[in-house]
Structure 1
């Protein structure tokens, strides 16, 4: 049964409700505290390129970005914007190749005699790297910039008793070329650049007549160091 409130009780309840409303209005809102541990997901690391032995399977890996720098002489240099990341240093007979994702463009080959490495770039992206042997003593490999003058997959030397020079890329008309060879630290050439034959076959299919080959001592040492 409903009962009638006296005026005094109605007044007391009104003051009570008013006090509660004022207290709620004056209470500061709970601050929002940002988490100190909130992080964005880290980008996935590019896998390293595996080294290949002469009978190994093709590489499937990506290359990490590097600064865009023009290397070489001012009138003969070219921009390098990506280099291969290898899972271990290259030793005699090793090579790596990964042209996946590289843009179309001119191919440039660099031979570093100081560290016995050959580097292949397409449009400034490194797509191949190999160990090598070269000419020493009385038959040194010449340095400079050379165009590829001739290609012959089954070439044999007409100077050195028909010695095989598979996947030959001629640099000079007096016998200097890049070609497939057994690569061992104890071996040297008569001035040519010898690279592992499986790598030479890949390079032969990539390179075109007129592509530049730079032969030097000490290439991109700030990036590659003493050889990788």
Structure 2
């Protein structure tokens, strides 16, 4: 699941697995609406959220996360926005764990295993607003198709559809499965924030 250490530390830190989401889950909180399914998501308590903010694991509210009860491999993704209301959208990318999570109105609606930049062209960490949305983009530098591009930086770092397979990397972009990319593209608007985290980048700085 996206916030694995909640079960042990009570904090909203995200998964400890490299390419999959852990299955241990915190004790379920009371649900705000009986129409939510227990099997679909876990709700985050106020105390857990406050501790996560104090520890620097999160800088914004998370109301619930998807329950993913399987090992996620390259190319896998889960998407479920059923019953999730309209609201602000933001994206969290964890480079060390190769995971992306999409939130709407504080609820996680999608997660996937990603590709990221190789050593010679690393993916930057930080908080980036979406600068542009380009559905049928093609890179003039690398002569490569980049469908469902969400551009994050002036020099072209983007989230885009990619053939997510073991052993592959990008030129600094974040590659996601094509079907996931299409769903993400439909959710994200220009100006929405993408938070890219990397413990390795923090250690180097």
User: Would you say same fold, with TM above 0.5?
Assistant: yes
**What is the CA distance between 1:214 and its match in structure 2?**
0.3
Q: Does 1:210 align with 2:188?
A: no
Which residue number corresponds to residue 121 of structure 1?
Answer: 103
Q: Distance in 2 between matches of 1:144 and 1:45?
A: 34
Partner of 2:7 in structure 1?
none
In 1, Cα distance between the equivalents of 2:84 and 2:37?
18
Partner of 1:188: 169
1:64 aligns with 2:42: yes
Q: Does 1:200 align with 2:181?
A: yes
Shift of 1:158: 1.6
**Structure 2 equivalent of residue 97 of structure 1:** 79
In the alignment, the residues of structure 2 paired with residue 128 and residue 208 of structure 1 have an alpha-carbon distance, to the nearest angstrom, of 16
Q: How many residues align structurally?
A: 160
**Following TM superposition, by how much is the alpha carbon of 1:217 offset from its aligned partner in structure 2, in angstroms?**
2.2
Show structure 1 runs of 4+ deviating over 4 A.
70-74
Q: What is the distance in 1 between the residues matched to 2:71 and 2:198?
A: 19
Look at both structures and tell me which one has the larger radius of gyration over its CA atoms. Answer: 1
**Mapped partners of 1:46, 1:134: distance in 2:** 33
1:106 aligns with 2:88: yes
Task: Give the SS at the match of 2:182.
Answer: helix
5+ residue gaps, structure 1, are 1-42, 48-61, 219-228
The alignment's TM-score, normalised by the length of structure 1, stands at 0.66
- TM-score (structure 2 length as normaliser): 0.73
Tell me by how many angstroms 1:45 deviates: 7.0
**Separation in structure 1 between the aligned mates of residue 178 and residue 97 of structure 2, nearest angstrom:** 19
1:1-228 matches, cutoff 5 A: 46-47=38-39, 62-68=40-46, 69=49, 77-161=59-143, 163-217=144-198
